[in-house]
Amino acid sequence: MVLTVGEPAPDFTLPDSQGSETGLSDFAGRWLVLWWFPKAKSTGCTLQARGVDALARGFAGAPVVFVGVSYDPPDVNREFCLESAETVTFLSDASGDVAARYGTKRGPEEEFSGAPRRMTFVIDPDQRIRRIFTVQDVSGHADEVRGVLVEALKSNA
């Protein structure tokens, strides 16, 4: 599935790092940065998570929430959260069903088919997709997202 800017974000319900069910509707009324990462605790994902954590700290008090999603189980994501990104919510999509709805699931013939593509979706308070990133540079990605959020919050002020 290929999502486009302006369309409604696909609904989901997934377990968070504590095992509690969390859904898209839980974030209604706030900006949501939904970012997919391939593997908790890997070098690239740790770098990305730390960047998102710093970004989230910079938006403390703003109507923005940061949520990372991987195929990792909740207990692995809980450890990853404590080690790399304490301000971020982590969700587990072990089946890859939500990844398929967001277009982050790799095909069986693709390299790293057992992990989601590294992508970020900026979703507005009405739960419409406002920006889609295919992440190429994990070290600079948080700055890209920061720019989008600053503009979004200005236009909604």
Q: Is residue 35 part of a domain?
A: yes
Own/partner pairs, 39-43, CB within 8 angstroms, 24+ separation: 39/70, 39/72, 39/115, 40/70, 40/72, 40/76, 40/77, 40/79, 40/80, 40/90, 41/76, 41/79, 41/80, 41/83, 41/84
pLDDT exceeds cutoff 70 at 76:
yes
Q: Is residue 6 part of a domain?
A: no
CATH classification at residue 111: 3.40.30.10
| H helix and E strand count, the chain | 4, 7
Residue type, 116: P
Summarised one tens digit per residue, pLDDT across range 87-109 is 678 899 999 999 999 998 988 88
Q: Is residue 5 part of a domain?
A: no
Q: Is residue 26 part of a domain?
A: yes
Q: How confident is the model at residue 85 (pLDDT cuts 50, 70, 90)?
A: low
User: 99 by DSSP, 3-state: which?
Assistant: helix
What pLDDT score was predicted for residue 4? 93
Structural domain harbouring 75: 13-155
The domain tally of the chain equals 1
Q: How confident is the model at residue 136 (pLDDT cuts 50, 70, 90)?
A: confident
CA–CA distance, 23 with 102 (Å, rounded to integer): 14
Q: Is residue 110 part of a domain?
A: yes
Which pTM does this prediction carry? 0.88
**Contact yes or no for 59/105 (Cβ under 8 A):** no
Summarised one tens digit per residue, pLDDT across range 23-64 is 999 999 999 999 988 777 666 667 677 787 888 889 999 999
pLDDT exceeds cutoff 90 at 22:
yes
Q: Where are the alpha helices (DSSP H) in the chain?
A: 43-58, 74-84, 97-102, 141-155
What pLDDT score was predicted for residue 149? 93
